[in-house]
Amino acid sequence: MPSLLKVRGLFHSGAAGAAPGSAPASAVPGILRHSNGLREFLHGWDKAEGRRVLDLGCTSSFNLNFFTEHGHGVYNDDLLLEADRPVYRLASDAGPVFDAAAWLRDNLGFPPERFDAVLLWDLVDYMPEALVKPLIARLTEILRPGGTVLAYFHTKDVGPEAPFFRYHIHDHETLQLRPGPPYRLQRIFNNRHVENLFRGYRSIKFFLARDTLREVLASK
């Protein structure tokens, strides 16, 4: 499958230390954010081994180390970086159109029910509109029954210039947010929109926070 030929984050198992020369997560500048959604997402993982998680945010050695040190496999793919490639922009009378079919052909080419969990972060708010529903459909296919998706959605329109952040797992209920690439916020989803995205899932839990993010845990 095309996507497997360009893997940037292969599955790892067993213990893994921090990358050479890297500082521990607590020493890296950033904003620490409590996350009830992450705590629920990781519930029971300490007592399990060999689970597979798909991290779809910017590459994070901290996230990689967190899961491998607990005996789980992790695959990372920076979906926004892939979606930003000019090859997926088609010319039309109305301007450039995103080629979702070509993007899906080249990305996330995993067999059905491959993963136990997906870290989607807030990527849907920044994705091209044409890719949102096909992306969720593909994630649903490669997620096993009972698997979970952790996603964040902005709760109010903070404007297209709102900063994009990288998400690093600090501990079981804390994230470290660091500035990322200058991606532009594309849309705001309300609760009904989110429920429609995950239609057919066994359960959808919402976790409200004091900032502009709403955390969502969807269980297939």
Residue 71's Cβ-count burial label (10 Å; 0-12, 13-18, 19+) is middle
Q: What is the CATH number of domain 28-219?
A: 3.40.50.150
The residue with greater pLDDT, 61 or 2, is 61
95-109 pLDDT, tens digit per residue, is: 789 999 999 999 999
Element (H, E) at 31: strand 31-34
49-88 pLDDT, tens digit per residue, is: 899 999 999 999 999 999 999 899 999 999 999 999 999 9
pTM of the model: 0.85
CB 189 within 8 A of CB 206: no
Give the number of C-alpha atoms closer than 13 A to the C-alpha of residue 128, restricted to the C-beta side: 22
Q: Where are the domains of the chain?
A: 28-219
What is the rounded CA–CA span in Å between residue 81 and residue 187?
A: 18
113-136 pLDDT, tens digit per residue, is: 999 999 999 999 999 999 999 999
- Residue 29 has a pLDDT of 63
Residue 49's Cβ-count burial label (10 Å; 0-12, 13-18, 19+) is exposed
